[in-house]
Amino acid sequence: MTELLQWARHHWRRLINGGRTQGEDERSYNYSSLLACGGKSSQTPRPAGKHRVVIPHLQCFKDEYERFSGTYVNNRIRTTKYTLLNFVPRNLFEQFHRAANLYFLFLVVLNWVPLVEAFQKEITMLPLVVVLTIIAIKDGLEDYRKYKIDKQINNLITKVYSRKEKKYIDCCWKNVTVGDFIRLSCNEIIPADMVLLFSTDPDGICHIETSGLDGESNLKQRQVVRGCAEQDSEVDPEKFSSRIECESPNNDLSRFRGFLEHSNKERVGLSKENLLLRGCTIRNTEAVVGIVVYAGHETKAMLNNSGPRYKRSKLERRANTDVLWCVLLLMVMCLTGALGHGIWLSRYENMLFFNIPDPDGRVVSPVLTGFYVFWTMIILLQVLIPISLYVSIEIVKLGQIYFIQSDVDFYNEKMDSTIQCRALNITEDLGQIQYLFSDKTGTLTENKMVFRRCSVAGFDYCHEENTKRLESYQDTVSEDEECIDTLSGSSSNVARPRAQGCRTPHSGFLGKPSARLCGSTSAVGNGEGSGDVSHSRQAAFSSPIETDVVPDTRLLDKFSQITPQLFTRLDGTSQSSPPETLYIMDFFIALAICNTVVVSAPNQPRQKIGLSSLGGMPIKSLEEIKNIFQKLSVRRSSSPSLASGKDSTSGTPCAFVSRISFFSRTKLSPPTEDESSQMDEIPQASNSACCTETEAQTSDVGLSVGSAEAPNGPPPLASNLCYEAESPDEAALVYAARAYHCTLQSRTPEQVMVDFAALGSLTFQLLHILPFDSVRKRMSVVVRHPLSKQVVVYTKGADSVIMELLSVASSGTHPEEQQMIIRERTQRHLDEYAKRGLRTLCVAKKVMSDTEYAEWLRNHFLAETSIDNREELLVESAMRLENKLTLLGATGIEDRLQEGVPESIEALHKAGIKIWMLTGDKQETAVNIAYACRLLDPDDKLFVLNAQSKDACGMLMSAILEELQKRTQVSLELTSPRKNFPQLPDPPCPGRAGLVITGKTLEFALQESLQSQFLELTAWCQAVICCRATPLQKSEVVKLVRNHLHVMTLAIGDGANDVSMIQVADIGIGVSGQEGMQAVMASDFAISQFRHLSRLLLVHGHWCYTRLSNMILYFFYKNVAYVNLLFWYQFFCGFSGTSMTDYWVLIFFNLLFTSVPPIIYGVLEKDVSADTLLQLPELYRSGQRSEEYLPLTFWITLLDAFYQSLVCFFVPYFTYQGSDIDIFTFGNPLNTAALFIILLHLVIESKSLTWIHMLVIVGSILSYFFFALAFGALCVTCNPPSNPYGIMQKHMLDPVFYLVCVLTTFVALLPRFVYRVLQGSLFPSPILRAKYLTDYLRGRAEALKRWRGIAKVNHVASKYASQSAAKSGRPTPDSSANLAMKSATVCTVEQSTSETVLDLGYSEPGSSKMTGPSAS
C-alpha cells in the first residue's frame, strides 16, 4: 500500500508540475554515456517540510521510517512524457498549444456546420491530421528511445541491505529507497545520492570520478562522515542508530547541507565532501557503504536533467508576426467576399433562381447569407495560413544541424571531439550576432598553466632557464603531444588496470579476505568507464610543457641552504636561521599543500602514515634522535579513536580541538614553543632586475635529494606520481614545487606528506581546508607544522584580495617594517608579471596559537552544522581566520593563447561584431592578452574606467565620452544620449577606442542611474574589457546589453563561472576545455576551440539565416499566390465560396506538390562559398541588419504573389472566355500554370542549383501530373455534380493548354527575373559581388590550369622535335628562344593573376562597406 501511495504521490506531482515548459532555462544533462536519457525530467519537487529527515530502513525504526523516509519517492526514474494510455490525449494536448494548430482545428469544426460548409468534411481534416500525425510519430519515437534507456537504468543491479535477511542482497536500482544502506565496489556507478559511512581506504577516503556529471575526468576525494572513519570493521546497519537531517532536494551539485545526529543527540556536520552523487563512479576504492538520502527524481543528477534547450529565435518571432499579418489579410479577403455576396444577392433578391427559400418558405436575408459566406470563405482560403510552415522549419533546422555537426573543420583531433548542437531551433540566430561576450582563461587561452616566474621575500626570480625550455617547446610541442598520445594509447592495456583496478587492502583489515571486497563489478561500470579513464587521467594538466619546470639557479642555491641543522633552533639550542630561508621554505610548502590535488602512485599501495615522518630524515645529530623519540611518544598517545570519547591530551588547549575538528581524526600533538627568532634585515637595494641581482651564500650545504626513506618502504619517485588537480593552476604550482624538490607525496583527509629535499618526508597534520570560491577568491589550509608544532594557515589567492588581508604595521617593529618592504617589492613584481600577461597569485601564511584556533573552530563548527544560511556563516568564519597574514611571495603563471584566436577575433571584428572580454584576472593581464589576441590594436586609444565611488564613476564616464566626441568631431545630434539605448554606428574616427573597466567600478556602472551612460560609452568603443568580474557581474552585463540595446548577444566560456553568462545570452557557446563540462551542459552549442567560432558564425550562421529567411518568405509567397486564385474566382461566381479546383487537388497542392522543394532549398542553399565567407567577413553584416527578411521584403514578396496570381488567373480566363468548358476544365490550367510558376520562382531565387534541387523540382512536377492523370482516370463521381474525370487526359492532347501554361509562366515570372538581372548587373549587393568574385577567380584558375596544360604539351612536343632534329642532323629554328618566350608568358600570366586576386580580395571589403550602411 505504501508503494502505491508513493507512486500516486509522485505521478500526481509530475502531472501538476511536469507538463510546464521550462523554456529558456532548460538544459540537457547526461550523467554518463549509458545513462544519457536526454529527456526532460520532472521539475524540482516541492517537499512538505523545509528540511528532510532520513531514517534508516531498519526493523527497529519501522514506525519512524514509515513516517519520514517511507513518504519519499523511490529510485525509479522516468524521463518519458507518455504512456500507452495517455500518449494520444497528451500529445494532442501539447500540440494544440500551438496557435496555428488551434486555428486549423477551428476550421475543421467549422466545416462540419452545414450552413458554412465549403469542402467535404474529410478533406478539411486531412492537412491537420497529416501534420499532427507526423509530429506525433516523431515524439513517439523519441519517447520510446527514452523508455528503453530508462528501463535499462532502472534494472541495473546494486547491493542493498535487507532488514529481513540481515545481509546485502542484489537489488534493482528502481527498488532503492531513501534510508537504504548500499554497498558499492570499485568501478560501480552510484545508484542514488547517499552519505558515505564507510570506506575500505585506511583514511576513510573514497575516490570518485564525476565525468558523468561535470565532464571532469580527474579523480575527486570524498570522505567518510567524521566519527565513522575510526571503525575497525565495516559499518553494521543493525547497529546504526543515528538519523540524518539535511536540506530539501535541490539541483545544486556543489552544495550539501545537513547533520548526522547520534542517539546521544551529538551532531556531526555534513557537507558535499560526505555526499556521493548518483551517476558518479567509484574509483581506486575496494568498497564503500552509504545511506541513501535522495532517490530517483529527487537526486541532484536528475534535478539537473532536462531536455535540449528550446528557444524562440529572432527569425521565428518575426515569422509569427507576419503570420498575424496573413490572418489580417485573410480577414480582409473574407470580409470582401461576405460583402460582395450580400451585394450580389441584393441585386437579385426577387429572382428565386439565385435566392432559394427554405423548405418552410422563409427567405434568408442577404445580410445573414453574407455572414454565412464569411465563414465559408475562411474555410476556403485557409491555405493562406501556412500550416506546413512550422513542420518545414523544424525539418530544415534538423537538416542544418546535421550539416553543422558533419563539418570536418570543427573536428579536434587532440580531444577527439567535434561541435555539439544542443539547441535545436536557433541555428539562424548564429547569423545575426552583434555582441560577443567572451571569457579569457580556457576560452581565448589554452588553459595550460605554465610556471614562469615567482617572487619570494621581495626577490624576483625570472627563471631564464625555464624560459629557454618553453621557447624550445614552441616549435615541438605539438609533436611531443602527439608522441605522448601515441605512447599512452599503445600502453593503454597496461595503464588501465592500474588506473581502475581495486587496491589490495591490508590483511585482516576487515577480518575477511580482500577478494570478497572486490565483488563482481557492475557491467555498466566495467563497460562505461574502463575504456577511457586511464587515457583521460594521464592527459589532465600533465603535458610536458606544464610538468617539466627548470628551476632558477639563484633560487636553487638559496634553497640548498635549507638543512636539518638549520631547524635545531626549535629546541632553543641553535641560533636563528636567515629569514629569507624561512620565507622560501614556507613559500614552497604552501605551493605543495595549499590545494586539493589528489596524489596517486602507480603500483604503490597507499598506507596510512603516522604524524611523525622524521624517520626518513638523515640523522646527523643527537638532537634529532631526541626529537624522533618525542614524536614517537606523541604518536603512541594519539592512538585511541575519536569515537571512544577518551582524550589523551585532556587538560591542554588541544582537547576541544581534537574532539570537534572537522577534518582531523587523530589527536592533535601538543604545541611547542613559538618560534622566537627574528628576521635578519632585508637588503634595501632594489632587486627588480633579477638577472643582475646577486646575494651572498650563507651556507655551502648541498641538496640531499632522494636520500630519505619512508618508514613503510621507499616512497615512489616524484616522476612517477600522478597528480589529479581540479584546476590547471593548482597542478602548475605543485609541479613548480616539485622542481625544487618539495614534492607532494600523498594526501589524506587528516595529513599531507611532502618530501622536502634534505629535510626528508614532512607530514603536516591537516586540520582544516577552506576551499576556493568566487566570493573570497582564495583558499586556505590549516595545518600543524611537523617541525614547529604550531598551527599554521597557508593561504593563496588573487593579489587584490590577499594584499588587503595582510597585517598592518602599527607598532613599527622591525619584522613589520620588513614585511612592508616585501609587500612593496612584491607589488612591483606583480605589476610586471601582469604586464607580461601572466596570471598572478599571492601566497601568505599565518601562525595561530592552539587557543586561537580552538576558539575559531568552535564557531566554525556551529556554522558547519547549520542548515539555514550555512554559506553566509561559513564565509564569515573564513573571514575571521584569513586576516593579519604574512606575505610570502607571488607566482606568475602563463596561459598561452589558443591556436587561431587572433585571426578569429580579427575576422569577427571585420564582421561588425563587438567583442567584450569578461574575465576575473587583473587589469594588466587582461589588457596584455587583449593586445596579444588582437582584441586591441597598438594604435587604439585605451581608456581605463577605475573609480572608487558611484559619483566618481559617473564623472569619469562623462569625461571619457567628451574626449571621444572631440576626437570624432561628430554632430551634437549623434552624440546626445538616446532613448532606448540604440546601438551607435562605428564612429568615423581616425583610430579605434577600447575601454577597460574593473570589477568594483563595474558594480557602480551596472546601477540603474548609470546604465544609460555606461552603454553610451561602450557604444563608442570597439572592444570592452571587464576585469575582476564575478560570475554574477558577467551575467548582469550580458543581460544589460541584450535587454536595453535590443541586440543579438552571444556568450562563450569554458568553466562553471561562465554558466550564468551563457544562460542569459541569446546564444550560449560552451568550450569543452580543461575545466570540465559545466559550461557545455549549459550551452546551446559546444565547440572545442575558440577558432571554430569564426566558422560557426561567419559560414554556418550566415548560411542558416539566409536559407531559413528565404524559405519562410517563399512559403508566404506560394500560399498567397495560390490562395488568390480562389479569391479572384469569387468575383465571377457571386462570392459564393465555390472552388474551380477539386478539393483533393487543392489540399495536395500545398501539402505534397510544393512542400519538398523549399525544404531542400532551406537545407542545401549556398549563396556564397565557405572560403569566400571566411575571406570576406564583412559579408556577415547583412545578417546583422536582417537584410534577407526585412518588413519591406515581406510586403514586396506579397505584392509579387498578388501580381503572379492575377496573371495566372486572367491569362487562362481570357483564353477560354466564351467557351463551353466546365468549372474543373477551367481550373486545371490554373493549377498547372501555378505549379510551374511557383517552382520556377524558386529556381530564380536559388543561388546554387545542384542535382538534388533539380531532382526534387522535376519529381514534384511529375508527381503532380501522375496524380492528376490517375485521379482523372479513377475518380468518376468523386465530387458530383462536377467531377475531374478525364480532364488532364484531354488537356494533354490540347495544344492550347501547353500554350496557356507557357505564356502564363513567362508573363508571371518576367518582372521577378528582370529585377534579379538588373540587380546583379547594375546594383549588386555585397553578397552578389562576392559570388561574382568567387566565380571569376575559379574561372581564372581553371583557365590557368588549361594554359599550363597546353604549355606542357607544347614543351613536350618541342623537346621531341628537337630530339628528332638532332638525330636527323637538321638545325631547329631557335626552339630554345620560343620555349623561353612561352615560359615568360606563363610567368607573366601567373603574376598578373595573383595580383588580380590580391587586389580583388583586399578591395572587396572596402567596396562592401561603401555600398551599404555601416554596422557597429
Per DSSP, the residues of 759-773 read GEEEEEEEEEEE---
Within 565-614, strands assigned E span: 598-600
Q: Where is average pLDDT lowest: 494-498, 715-719, 1310-1314?
A: 494-498
Cβ partners under 8 Å of residue 298, min gap 6: 45, 72, 73, 249
Give SS3 for 31: coil
Contact status, residue 1026 vs residue 1053, Cβ threshold 8 Å: no
Residue 202 pLDDT > 60, yes or no? yes
DSSP string of 1318-1371?
A: HHHHTS--HHHHHHHHHHHHHHHHHHHHHHHHHHHHHHHHHHHHHHHHHHHTPP
Rounded CA separation 779/794 (Å): 8
For the chain, the C-alpha Rg in angstroms (whole number) is: 39
Give SS3 for 1152: helix
Cβ partners under 8 Å of residue 1412, min gap 6: 1181, 1182, 1185, 1325, 1326
Contact status, residue 1069 vs residue 422, Cβ threshold 8 Å: no
Look up residue 83 and give its three cell numbers: 504512456
Beta strands 287-294 and 181-185, pairing class: antiparallel
Residue 253 pLDDT > 80, yes or no? no
Residue 468 pLDDT > 50, yes or no? yes
Taking phi over 0 as left and psi of -120 to 50 as alpha, with beta for the rest, 150 belongs to alpha
Q: Which residues are catalytic?
A: 439
Sheet containing 51-54: order of strands? 51-54, 243-247, 258-261, 267-270
Contact status, residue 1016 vs residue 1078, Cβ threshold 8 Å: no
C-alpha angle 931/936/939, rounded to 5°? 105
pLDDT tens, 794-805?
999 888 888 888
CA 72, 77, 79, 84 dihedral sign is negative
Please provide the average confidence, as pLDDT, over all residues in the chain.
74
Confidence grade of residue 1067 (pLDDT, cut at 50, 70, 90) = very high
To the nearest whole percent, how much of the chain has pLDDT over 70?
Answer: 70
Q: How many CA atoms lie within 13 A of 1041 on its CB side?
A: 28
Rounded CA separation 687/461 (Å): 10
Contact status, residue 340 vs residue 1130, Cβ threshold 8 Å: yes
Cell 598551527 locates to 791
Residue 1337 pLDDT > 90, yes or no? no
Taking each helix axis from N to C terminus, what angle separates 121-154 and 387-405, rounded to the nearest 10 degrees?
Answer: 40
pLDDT tens, 966-984?
877 643 444 444 444 444 4
Confidence grade of residue 611 (pLDDT, cut at 50, 70, 90) = very low
Confidence grade of residue 519 (pLDDT, cut at 50, 70, 90) = very low
Q: Where is average pLDDT lowest: 341-345, 525-529, 738-742?
A: 525-529
Contact status, residue 190 vs residue 279, Cβ threshold 8 Å: yes
Cβ partners under 8 Å of residue 430, min gap 6: 1067, 1085, 1096, 1097, 1100, 1101, 1104, 1105
DSSP string of 1038-1101?
A: HHHHHHHH---EEEEE-SGGGHHHHHHSSEEEEE-SSS-SHHHHT-SEEESSTTHHHHIIIIII
Contact status, residue 1097 vs residue 911, Cβ threshold 8 Å: yes
Q: Write down the pLDDT at residue 606.
A: 39
Rounded CA separation 8/6 (Å): 5
Rounded CA separation 460/828 (Å): 10
Rounded CA separation 275/193 (Å): 7
Rounded CA separation 57/69 (Å): 8
pLDDT tens, 423-445?
777 889 999 999 999 988 778 88
Sheet containing 993-997: order of strands? 420-421, 1085-1087, 1067-1071, 1049-1053, 435-438, 914-918, 1023-1026, 993-997, 941-945
First to last CA, the chain: 67
Residue 685 pLDDT > 60, yes or no? no
Within 457-591, strands assigned E span: 459-461
Phi, psi of 389 (to 5 degrees): -65, -45
How far is C-alpha 538 from the chain's CA centre? 24
Confidence grade of residue 112 (pLDDT, cut at 50, 70, 90) = confident
Q: Percentage helix, strand, coil, to 5, in the chain?
A: 50, 15, 35
Look up residue 1024 and give its three cell numbers: 570592452
- Quote the DSSP letter at residue 189: B
Contact status, residue 1382 vs residue 1351, Cβ threshold 8 Å: yes
DSSP string of 628-639?
A: HHHHHHHHHHT-
Rounded CA separation 630/636 (Å): 10
Helix boundaries (H) for 1149-1293: 1156-1164, 1170-1175, 1181-1184, 1191-1215, 1223-1245, 1251-1274, 1287-1291
Look up residue 1158 and give its three cell numbers: 523549399
Mean pLDDT confidence for 531-546: 48
- State the DSSP H helix or E strand holding residue 301, giving kind and residue range, or none if neither: helix 300-303
Mean pLDDT confidence for 442-451: 79
Confidence grade of residue 534 (pLDDT, cut at 50, 70, 90) = very low
Beta bridge partners of 598: 724
Contact status, residue 804 vs residue 756, Cβ threshold 8 Å: no
Q: Write down the pLDDT at residue 354.
A: 62
Q: Write down the pLDDT at residue 533.
A: 36
Q: Write down the pLDDT at residue 1279.
A: 62
pLDDT tens, 126-147?
778 888 888 888 888 888 888 8
CB atoms within 10 A of CB 312: 13
Look up residue 411 and give its three cell numbers: 573536428
Cβ partners under 8 Å of residue 458, min gap 6: 682, 687, 821, 822, 825, 826
Nearest CA to 1105 out of 638, 430, 595, 538 is that of: 430
Q: Write down the pLDDT at residue 358.
A: 66
pLDDT tens, 1216-1263?
988 888 888 899 999 999 999 999 999 999 988 889 999 999 999 999
Mean pLDDT confidence for 949-965: 89
Residue 989 pLDDT > 50, yes or no? no
User: For residues 68 and 1130, which has the higher predicted lDDT (pLDDT)?
Assistant: 1130
C-alpha angle 378/382/384, rounded to 5°? 120
- State the DSSP H helix or E strand holding residue 438, giving kind and residue range, or none if neither: strand 435-438
Q: Where is average pLDDT lowest: 500-509, 566-575, 760-769?
A: 500-509
Look up residue 730 and give its three cell numbers: 593548482
Rounded CA separation 338/350 (Å): 20
pLDDT tens, 1350-1380?
766 666 666 666 666 555 554 444 444 343 3
C-alpha angle 1081/1087/1090, rounded to 5°? 125
Beta bridge partners of 158: 171
Look up residue 380 and give its three cell numbers: 476556403
Rounded CA separation 101/1164 (Å): 28
- Quote the DSSP letter at residue 549: P
